Chains A and B, each alone.
Chain A
Amino acid sequence: DSGVTQTPKHLITATGQRVTLRCSPRSGDLSVYWYQQSLDQGLQFLIHYYNGEERAKGNILERFSAQQFPDLHSELNLSSLELGDSALYFCASSVSTRGGGYTFGSGTRLTVV
């Protein structure tokens, strides 16, 4: 157990629907990062939150949004889902120093049918 909790582990939904992925960071970590891993692709950076504020955006679609709440958990909202959104979505947390890297959760596998 890495200390980063992602729910749900698996999600199957239809095109056009909206889903919410949840992440609880490791205790004491203020930063949350979201990544998407599609088939045969590396981890694509989506967005970074630090202590409730958005700090950086990557290749995140306009149909996707995220937020970090006062208790530091984060949610990634995906709407108007398309088949191509099927992927593994990882959340990672850190204390916002570079040393030691992030701690990743085990991911949410999203399948859009």
Chain B
Amino acid sequence: DQQVKQNSPSLSVQEGRISILNCDYTNSMFDYFLWYKKYPAEGPTFLISISSIKDKNEDGRFTVFLNKSAKHLSLHIVPSQPGDSAVYFCAATGSSGTYKYIFGTGTRLKVLA
């Protein structure tokens, strides 16, 4: 049972344009969501997070939007840069007392120069 889904395995975007990565979840108990970026041969690195009490969180070129009713979140990167080319994972957790994250399968973003 995949509780966190990233239905697009890959995405290509022109440099300078907007990249939109999507993530859906099924568990209504999730109340905290994160995005991680992963380069080859490295571990994932934390990018941005959002609590369920918010519907938007912004950090520089990165903005995460949360639609609780649709159980959907998205990551917007504006403007996209070649260095953003990586695999992006969304993750979710709930107030279970252990902060284990459930990860999606990832979306490979390629930003074309």
Which of A12-20, A65-73, A101-109 is found at the contact surface with chain B?
A101-109
Residue of A nearest to B41 (CB): A106
How many B residues touch the partner, as a band?
A: 20 to 34
A84 contacts chain B at the CB level, 8 A cutoff: no
**Across-interface contacts of B101 in A (CB, < 8 A):** 33, 43, 45, 101-102
Q: Number of residues in A with C-beta < 8 Å to the partner?
A: 31
Flag if A2 contacts B99 (CB, 8 Å). no
Give the Cβ gap from B6 to chain A, nearest Cβ, in Å. 8
Min C-beta distance of A49 to chain B, whole Å: 10
Interface centre among B6, B9, B44, B97 (most CB of A within 10 A): B44
Judge if A78 is at the interface, Cβ distance under 8 Å: no
Residue in chain A with minimal CB distance to B104: A42
Q: Which residues of A line the B interface, CB within 8 A?
A: 2, 4, 31, 33, 35, 40-45, 48, 50, 55-56, 58, 90, 92, 94, 96-107
Kindly list 20 other residue pairs between chains A and B, CB separation below 8 angstroms, not including A42-B104, A43-B44, A50-B98.
A2-B43, A40-B105, A41-B105, A42-B6, A43-B103, A44-B103, A48-B98, A48-B99, A48-B100, A55-B97, A56-B98, A58-B100, A96-B99, A99-B49, A101-B36, A101-B49, A101-B91, A101-B101, A104-B43, A105-B43
